[in-house]
Amino acid sequence: MRFQHHFASKLAYLRIKQQRGVVLFLALIALVIMSLAAVALIRSVDTNTLIAGNLSFKEAATTSADAGTEAAITMLLGMRDDAANAGKNVLMDATHTFNVTPATHNGYYSSANTLALTSSATWDDINNVLVGTDNSGNTIRYIVERMCRTPNVAISTADCLFSKSADDPNGQQIRLPQNICDGPGCPVAGQTPQIRVTVQVTGPKNSVSYVQAFVY
């Protein structure tokens, strides 16, 4: 009986020893798996944070483009007033500031076929107008193009893209120039040329946004 009891105890000890080795091995595998999962989770969080940050920079750059659009409209209003004071007819007079490239105002083009808008050479502060840098570190530039195929000729012969004779966006009743202008030089219905404003905004971390607006 003692021999059997001693043999059984020794066998149980060997089994326990073997089981402890298996548990240690399994524990190490589980530890490695958990470590890999933790690393993957950390990298995923970092990636999501990076993406969210880049999207915020992109959104801020797009918002800053409004300042470029407003600056371009201010320039167009000045060009219009200069020509009006000189008594020039935008439809018939090829020397009207809206019909000339280069105009007296940098960044304005009387044809839409002049520049590659996504080329870095286009945005070299020579072919465009530099508005400045806002508080968020976004640098704003713009280019204005008359939507016509033929440059340096009067609108009546430039093969232009014209606005509609009437415009009623959602009942807002936006009046066109021919509805409020009276006298020589005023555009007639269907002869208001479209003008495209392209704004480039470069911001932190090499973020770049392009925003276009059509005015008439």
CA angle 156, 160, 162 (to 5 degrees): 95
Question: Nearest to residue 144, comparing CAs of 77, 91, 96?
Answer: 77
CA 205, CA 216: separation in Å to the nearest integer? 35
CA 105, CA 143: separation in Å to the nearest integer? 11
Is-contact 152 110, C-beta < 8 A?
yes
Residue 164's pLDDT is: 59
pLDDT digits (tens, 9 = 90+) for 133-175: 888 888 999 999 988 888 898 887 888 877 655 555 555 555 5
Is-contact 197 142, C-beta < 8 A?
yes
| Domain spans of the chain, in order of start | 65-215
pLDDT digits (tens, 9 = 90+) for 39-74: 777 776 656 555 555 666 667 777 788 889 999 999
Is-contact 68 201, C-beta < 8 A?
yes
Residue 53's pLDDT is: 54
Q: 124 pLDDT exceeds 60?
A: yes
- Mean pLDDT, the chain, integer: 74
